[in-house]
Structure 1
């Protein structure tokens, strides 16, 4: 979880490869109307997010039903959004990729072909609610290299590969 540009996709792909777990890009679950809204520079409202979050949770439940741990990227900025994800079957844990707003803004400036414009970053930080002490997860600093971030997540959440 984390704001746009925090490295969710990069780190998730590293984790999926290392752990041999199925991976899904949360952005792929957005309805076209959400994508168009964000591409136009309009922040999503909760009414836009609920169906998207439920679709992500359904994918997670399907993986759990097939006996698979999985990885999915999702901003999950508010506790209420994470509550929807926690409704998925299985154990849902979060790795919050957190960091300096200027660093994230710089990273977004280098991205190409993504519908999320840098103009929405401030609204993401305004929406962001840190993980609560009672939420299963950890916070990882995005200033580290992606491989180190992935290692911190594996160690911090005590994750195990499907292959061993």
Structure 2
């Protein structure tokens, strides 16, 4: 076994101050991505809950309305409220109202109405360089169905 010089042994055995450096480096390398992931998942979950609530409540508003004008007014009020509450970007929100089974008039008395709401969630801290902010959006979608009131009127 080759013999080492005393100065090398002293340097190899001296670990003063290395724990703080390891904690800082390890904390930055591990903690920052975990915090970013938690924040991102929280934002996506919030939008998913908002889209689900929007589809459910719009379907209920349309199904319990008495006419097309009443349904439009109720659906608009519900959407405006939920967009504000869940901080959803209204420009990325798409709402589709259709009826199950192809009835002649949609919605109509006794029919089943399906409401699908789609939105996209921007990821935090993504710069708007070269369209990265648009390319890194996460889509969320929800559908709900409700039976239309039998008291529905056509006009």
Q: TM-score, normalised by structure 2?
A: 0.29
Which structure carries more relative contact order (alpha carbon 8 Å, separation 6+)? 1
Greater share of strand: 2
Q: TM-score, normalised by structure 1?
A: 0.28
Instruction: Answer with 1 or 2: which has the greater Rg.
Output: 2
